[in-house]
Amino acid sequence: MIALHAEAAPKSLDLELSVLLFQAVRELLHNVVKHAKAHHVRLVLERRSGDLAIEVQDDGVGFDASAVLARPPNNRFGLFNIGHRLAAYGGRLEAAAPVGSGARMTLIVPIKGESAA
C-alpha cells in the first residue's frame, strides 16, 4: 500500500530539476519494490524552510545506507547518482535505513525565490 501526502508543488522548479526529481522518486520506489520487502510505503512532498523535500519511507528490511551511498557510480541511476545529481542543484539525499527497521530516503532541493523560514 502506498500513502501520499503532498503540498502544492512550487512553481519555480525548472524542467530539468522536475525531471530529475521524477526519476529519483521512481528509482526510490523501484528500490522499495525490488529490495525492501515492504508492505507499506509513504511518499511525502512538502516545503521545509525554503527547500522542497520529497520523502519515501517504507516498513521494509532496511539496509546499510552509508555503504550503498558510498558505492562509486555505475551505469544505473542508483542512490549515489541521485545524491550527486541533486548536489548540482544545491540539494542532497538524506538516508536513514537501519537494518530491520525500514528506510527513509529524503530528496532535498532549494526552491528558487523562497527564503528560509
Residue 43: how many other CB atoms lie within 10 Å: 18
Sorted by sequence, the CB contacts under 8 Å of residue 115 that are 6+ apart come out as: 50
Question: Has residue 40 been placed in a domain?
Answer: yes
In the chain, how long is the greatest CA-to-CA distance? 40
Helix (H, G, I), strand (E, B) or coil at 97: coil
Residue 35 has pLDDT above 80, yes or no: yes
pLDDT of residue 71: 74
Residue 116 has pLDDT above 70, yes or no: no
pTM of this structure: 0.88
pLDDT band for 9, please (50, 70, 90 cuts): low
Q: Which domain holds residue 12?
A: 2-110
Question: Has residue 28 been placed in a domain?
Answer: yes
- For residue 71, the domain's CATH number is 3.30.565.10
| 106 neighbors 44 (Cβ within 8 angstroms) | no
pLDDT of residue 70: 77
Tens digits of per-residue pLDDT, 51-91? Answer: 999 999 999 999 988 888 777 766 566 888 899 999 999 99
pLDDT of residue 67: 82
pLDDT band for 117, please (50, 70, 90 cuts): very low
For the record, the C-alpha cell of 97 comes out as 535505513
Q: How far is CA 112 from the centre of its chain?
A: 19
Q: How many domains does the chain contain in total?
A: 1
Question: Has residue 116 been placed in a domain?
Answer: no
| 60 neighbors 103 (Cβ within 8 angstroms) | yes
pLDDT of residue 29: 96
| 40 neighbors 32 (Cβ within 8 angstroms) | no
